[in-house]
Amino acid sequence: MGRQFDVGEQFRFIGRTFEEYTRMFGLAPTALAGTTILDCPGGPGSFTAIAAQRADRTLAVDPMYGRPVGELATVCADAVERTVAQLHEKRDLFVWDEYGDVATRGRYLRAAAQRFLADYARHPGRYVRAALPRLPFATDSVDRVLSGSLLFLYDDRLSERFHVEALLELARIAREDVRVFPLHSLDGERSKSLSPVVDTLRDAGLSVRLEPVDYEFQPGATEMVVVGDTDGYGGSERKRENARTGVPREAR
């Protein structure tokens, strides 16, 4: 049996709950008031629905959005069942302090999807169909961007160039910072793209740091990347220029 968690489709459409997000991204729920937040990719997660009750505005973006709610419900149910089945087979690849057992992990996945589907039906304007590395949002249009379970997770199918372009785009949109978790790929190892991508972002004038989080499912995956502004990168016009030209020639 393989030592990697396998995702046969290009990207799996599963989501996290609000509670999981607050721990994954070091967020205090009480600190969301007065902020605007973008979840990218949002997937079938419940963060946007629940955070909308606390923050000034929340948005999620994902290439799967725009489909009828019934179609997404079918996709969600299939993705959850595939994930739970494989978790039973490869339980030893994960740390279970957070969930206790596979059945509980499955309940979290279903709860996130259920809350997402209800909010998606009631508030479709919160869910924007688009895909990295180009998003239809203005520069500095949100305070914070959260990006979970895409960048650095799919090392076997996303290039360093994609990571750099995606993070430059997210940094263009965010006034304060971009937070990315996890930093381990599907094989359970630290992403091989992490170090070169961080170096390239710093060369482009961004502040990049690693911060610990109070969450662990993949063994050792207990840090997030926080990408923020520096004096040399700040300002909308400079952001636009760096987003266009900030990818070094060797990474193109």
Answer yes or no: is pLDDT of 125 > 90. Answer: yes
pLDDT of residue 11: 85
Reported as a single tens digit per residue, the pLDDT across 158-207 is: 999 999 999 999 999 999 999 999 999 988 999 999 999 999 999 999 99
Mean pLDDT of the chain: 90
Reported as a single tens digit per residue, the pLDDT across 105-124 is: 999 999 999 999 999 999 99
User: What's the start-to-end Cα distance of the chain, in Å?
Assistant: 37
Rounded to two decimals, the pTM is: 0.90
How does residue 229 score in pLDDT terms, banded at 50, 70 and 90? confident
C-alpha distance from residue 102 to each of 21, 80, 109, 221, 236 (Å): 19, 12, 11, 19, 46
Q: What is the mean pLDDT of residues 233-242?
A: 49
pLDDT of residue 239: 52
Q: What is the mean pLDDT of residues 84-103?
A: 95
Reported as a single tens digit per residue, the pLDDT across 28-64 is: 999 999 999 999 999 999 999 999 999 999 999 999 9
Answer yes or no: is pLDDT of 238 > 60. Answer: no
Answer yes or no: is pLDDT of 251 > 50. Answer: no
Closest alpha carbon to 225 in 251, 249, 193: 193
- What does the buried/exposed string (b/e) look like for 221-251 if buried means 16 or more CB atoms within 10 Å of the residue's CB? bbbbbbbbbeeebeeeeebeebbeebbeeeb
pLDDT of residue 170: 98
22-31, 149-158, 233-242: segment of lowest average pLDDT: 233-242
pLDDT of residue 175: 96
pLDDT of residue 236: 46
Q: What is the mean pLDDT of residues 20-27?
A: 97
24-38, 152-166, 234-248: segment of lowest average pLDDT: 234-248
